[in-house]
Amino acid sequence: MAPPEYCVIQDGDLSLAESGAIIEYILTKYGGQSKSKSKNKLVPESTSERYPDYRFRFHHTNTWLQSASMTLMIAKFARLSEDNALFKAMNAQFNVI
């Protein structure tokens, strides 16, 4: 559904598709590296006590957002009326995010 230019990133010689893989690649390559050893990294070191919580939240959020957005998209493709109780419930779930 997105324009073709949004479906792939280029990083040097690397071409990468799929939104989850793109986000994880950017976070892994650029989000965890800090030359100043700042504590404001996007990704904690794998040896950090915060790392397991980071991994849990990364995958939990990804799964939650994906399922909520896909369910709502299917409801819209099915042309459910916005007054439909099922549509309202799915939309409310998505808006919680």
Where are the chain's structural domains? Answer: 53-96
Distance CA 65, CA 57 (A): 12
- Nearest by Cα to 45 from 59, 57, 55: 55
| 30 Cβ contact partners less than 8 Å away, ≥ 6 residues apart | 42
pLDDT at residue 81, as a whole number: 84
Digit-by-digit pLDDT tens for the chain (97 residues) are 567 777 789 999 999 988 888 888 888 888 765 566 655 578 888 888 989 998 898 888 777 777 777 877 887 888 888 888 877 887 777 766 5
Asked whether 71 and 86 are in contact (CB, 8 A), the reply is: no
Q: Token pair of 54, please?
A: 């980071």
> DSSP secondary-structure letter at 35?
T
